[in-house]
Structure 1
């Protein structure tokens, strides 16, 4: 896992611009603490920061190889290709000679053999850039599900690119501007493919190749979620899911560094941890597992609509049955509310995304894990793949002609859009932006011949989660983990599993009337009964009232700076009320709004952006 960046300028020789390229590269040091490298030749410059996972001495980058005519092809690569062994064998049979044992070289030589079509042969999470000297072009490639990030910024004579916006923003040609659509994207709780929020910047969309040459910029979609008929009966479907999971976890356990699993006590992480434990146990190994908890939460837990039970008892049931080497990472409110931690989270995202204490706890969890492991397997995305969220079963959400997770988001998590001034609210018109995004998203859903209206509606809901919602969470997890140099792998995002389960009818996904029926039955032999019977519980959030007290004090400090630019967006009167509300009785909406306001203010202090509302 690594950080990549670069610059192509067809009108100049970049050998005199190495200092700028080095500055862009150094912004990625958190993603790659083990090594750095730059490669510059003529109009192209590539930078790389390495987190060494496979072939520790041999996988240095940028990596180059020569064509038959002697012209170089240079690669910077971030991610993991889990089928690199098979690729190496095939390429060797075609005459390629390898000098390292890394998956990076398999990708590089795969490009020499198949060009940009190499992307279609890769199983993994990846984002990479290739400078092809012979063809005078840059090729940017991103994995199918968008697990690994990749951004680009067109310039008058080429392009800038990077794993994160910060790499591009380090270049003097990149303006730090956020316009109306960028603000809408921040507050709408949707993820528009290709949108990067920063003006002039774009994401390489998942499953897409972007090429840049002297004729301009070109995009090619090499993968999308397609509708196919499902022929397997229930027993065969359950067996196929298990077969896929066994293969996926086995591939994703490959590493030359310490590995672990993230264990929450829910079905997803428990199944993944149990699979990993069984497979490593076959060779005498043992899985390390980690869970997040909050000081006093288990002892003083109060059930609510979303979380009926605390996680820790279920976590411990799984750890005992699977025989993992387990550790709870216990956090307190002082750390969660610490402004330095908030700044680290914002710096990791380059944006004030507004997940509050859940962002802070995820970052602190990963920071603690990094002291023991370099690679972690996560249960992320199983809810989107198998249908685990409440909105999949909520009749109002099913029928709503909008993104289904938005139907009850305000009542469950708070509506932090309420913090905006009336003028900003009117100018942004978030309702119209969301509806436009929804109409654009659903037009790509393919209907199966003979599919009932209900099954097609549920297919549409699954599609929206897999192409919009999951990308919010994947982006969050990537930034929080890579900010501390931890590689988090997501087995449930393997495209083979995603394609197979997407095309199983909803009646099969929920054949027993529960969420994630296929996953539960496919791994039932590995699960403790408590987890098998447990109802879905979201990522935990602190219930300590002292957290709200700390937020309010930070808000009061902000109010003492009346000229702060954040008040061009945030309603000062609203903030004053929220800051002085009785902390133990503060609503979720007010707490969420305080978190978002503090994020915005700190982001302004850190990045000095130019923000325009209209």
Structure 2
């Protein structure tokens, strides 16, 4: 994993500033501290830079990016991993390709001229984001992996296309504007984002499973967006509901074994993240079976027993002979690193799980590891979240016998009570646009849409007025491909919406890449192997959730390696204890509020209403406020802190000067 950056000028004859590219690499030094490189193509108005984290091919001189093709026609900067690369290298070599490195990244330069981009993307397996300039077409390609595991941002300044792995990389260019959009601000306050958007005006993400082809046309830029892959569930009528469950179990087992084995490939040691869930336990169990040496397992613990999964994680570590490292975090640890976490996430977070993950990635690197396998993606593929059970019951099981219906209602009322107000809405929310598009308002979005009235009320009156006709649910519905939900089973529709919103915008961002790479640590989510995903979407819904038990088919596939208590255990969403559950943590949150939500701080930023913030804080601390409302307000306070911190760091802060200073300090200087 690495960090990439680049500039593509409207004027082909305009030279790209090599030192600016080096500055853009320097400000993402945390993504790639092992080396950096800059390449500018003269008289083409394009240049890339790269900050390298060496994992495959440790020769820093040979494998340093950006890569230039032998014929000088293509320029490449790549972030991520291409698995199965040895087979592809052998095939390409038999076709006459000559590789200059042992890096998986070099594959693109040999695949593209032989097969074109569409076929190239079919061959690439893994998590990646890359930029390639092709001189024959005078085109810049920006490509992101199928699920959005690796980030890629871009903006059009009018004179240039500027892109990078992080927002701060774009902002290192003085020509890039830095200001919130009203819509982006509102979405930061309610957690859920519109796919492809950011908090900042004119700054976009390349969508998962998409690429951009950008060319200079008529004094400007022609930007063509194309989708090359999607999580495509079959039509409800085509689901093989009579499929033998054993076939589903075997398909999942075979797919996951292959995905894990591919992700153990590295030229450095590979560990595993281990919580008390079946996902990470399955990954550890398979990794231990495939390795000759004990696997290093890293576990986050909390000092609140209601949220701590350490005891079950210890059972799994003992069963596999893993060398387990447990990092137990206290309340003051989480809010004490909140501001640093926001610098890396570049978006708000509703729960300090993101802080916990950042602190764990630091421990991983301190111990000497750069790579871990993780369990992210399992819940998305096998319907693990409580919201999925709720949507299946309400919209996918209309003909239940009365006794079974009562059992479902009782289970839904009792289970995951800790997460009401965050992962589940306290009250039903029916968004007209989402219901029209999906057939119902997915339960995964309801808790965040329920925050909208409170979030709007926190914004300055003039901002609220400009957003009077804006509806977050409508914007999200409009961004979804109607063809991917039409005529699908209700559970498939719910899973698709989660994958397009919460997975990419939360799980893989502030719960994944951004807090892992903050400490130069690569996470590999084996469940998000696209071959495994294509198997999972064809598994009948009632093999995913059977008799009210989520992830049934995965449990059965991994039954032989899971501890009995875990095999039988209900899904427990992994998150940090909310602030209101612990006086010390609440005091730590309020200390940040005194700094960032004071009338003075709010006045400087000019985005929030100080009186409304005071009212919210008073409600959150009142004893008569319901528990679910406290959970909701806990999230909104985190978001309010977040937008204030983001404003201070990315709008008020001088990012270009900071990037230049970092390049100077690192010695990342480029001769004029």
How far did residue 605 of structure 1 move? 1.8
1:533 to 546, 568, 585: 568
> Match for residue 198 of structure 2?
196
How far did residue 597 of structure 1 move? 2.3
> Match for residue 286 of structure 2?
275
Task: Work out whether 1:464 is the aligned partner of 2:497.
Answer: yes
Contact 1:342 1:360 in 2 (8 A): yes
> Match for residue 474 of structure 1?
508
> Match for residue 325 of structure 1?
323
Contact 1:318 1:527 in 2 (8 A): yes
What does 1:508-523 correspond to in 2, within 5 Å? 508-523=543-558
608 and 227 in structure 1: CA distance in 2 versus 1, 3 angstrom threshold: closer
- For residue 226 of structure 2, give the secondary structure of its aligned residue in structure 1: strand
1:269-305: CA deviations, max 9, x gaps? 111111111111xxx22211111112x32xxx34xxx
What does 1:497-516 correspond to in 2, within 5 Å? 497-516=532-551
- For residue 269 of structure 1, give the secondary structure of its aligned residue in structure 2: helix
Using the alignment, how far apart are the partners of 2:229 and 2:485 within structure 1? 14
How far did residue 609 of structure 1 move? 5.6
573 and 33 in structure 1: CA distance in 2 versus 1, 3 angstrom threshold: same
1:73-117: CA deviations, max 9, x gaps? 221000000111121121112110122211011222112322322
> Match for residue 230 of structure 2?
224
1:174-205: CA deviations, max 9, x gaps? 10022122123323433323223321121111
Moved more, 86-95 or 19-28: 19-28
How far did residue 498 of structure 1 move? 1.4
How far did residue 606 of structure 1 move? 1.4
Moved more, 595-604 or 284-293: 595-604
Task: Work out whether 1:434 is the aligned partner of 2:496.
Answer: no
> Match for residue 555 of structure 1?
593
How far did residue 25 of structure 1 move? 1.8
Using the alignment, how far apart are the partners of 1:71 and 1:288 within structure 2? 43
Using the alignment, how far apart are the partners of 1:570 and 1:544 within structure 2? 27
15 and 335 in structure 1: CA distance in 2 versus 1, 3 angstrom threshold: same
49 and 396 in structure 1: CA distance in 2 versus 1, 3 angstrom threshold: same
- For residue 393 of structure 1, give the secondary structure of its aligned residue in structure 2: helix
1:495-539: CA deviations, max 9, x gaps? 111122122221221234310011111100010001101111112
426 and 316 in structure 1: CA distance in 2 versus 1, 3 angstrom threshold: farther
Task: Work out whether 1:315 is the aligned partner of 2:323.
Answer: no
> Match for residue 444 of structure 1?
483
1:231-260: CA deviations, max 9, x gaps? 542111110110000000000011111211
> Match for residue 452 of structure 1?
none
> Match for residue 59 of structure 1?
63
Contact 2:129 2:144 in 1 (8 A): yes
> Match for residue 156 of structure 1?
158
1:488 to 508, 523, 535: 523
Using the alignment, how far apart are the partners of 1:9 and 1:35 within structure 2? 26
Contact 1:552 1:578 in 2 (8 A): no
> Match for residue 275 of structure 2?
264
How far did residue 566 of structure 1 move? 6.5
Using the alignment, how far apart are the partners of 2:545 and 2:79 within structure 1? 36
> Match for residue 416 of structure 2?
none
Stretches of structure 1 that go unaligned for 5 or more consecutive residues are: 449-454
Contact 2:73 2:136 in 1 (8 A): yes
How far did residue 381 of structure 1 move? 1.5
How far did residue 420 of structure 1 move? 4.0
How far did residue 364 of structure 1 move? 1.0
Using the alignment, how far apart are the partners of 1:511 and 1:430 within structure 2? 42
> Match for residue 572 of structure 1?
610
Using the alignment, how far apart are the partners of 2:33 and 2:360 within structure 1? 19
> Match for residue 82 of structure 1?
83
> Match for residue 359 of structure 2?
364
109 and 533 in structure 1: CA distance in 2 versus 1, 3 angstrom threshold: same
TM-score scaled by length of structure 1? 0.89
TM-score scaled by length of structure 2? 0.82
Using the alignment, how far apart are the partners of 2:545 and 2:9 within structure 1? 53
How far did residue 221 of structure 1 move? 1.5
- Structure having greater relative contact order (Cα 8 Å, sep ≥ 6): 2
1:354 to 327, 349, 357: 349
1:406 to 445, 451, 459: 445
> Match for residue 289 of structure 1?
297
> Match for residue 20 of structure 1?
20
Equivalenced residue count is: 585
How far did residue 464 of structure 1 move? 0.9
Contact 1:356 1:596 in 2 (8 A): no
Contact 2:182 2:463 in 1 (8 A): no
82 and 385 in structure 1: CA distance in 2 versus 1, 3 angstrom threshold: same
- For residue 178 of structure 1, give the secondary structure of its aligned residue in structure 2: coil
Using the alignment, how far apart are the partners of 1:558 and 1:22 within structure 2? 33
Using the alignment, how far apart are the partners of 1:315 and 1:16 within structure 2? 51
Using the alignment, how far apart are the partners of 1:584 and 1:314 within structure 2? 35
How far did residue 601 of structure 1 move? 2.0
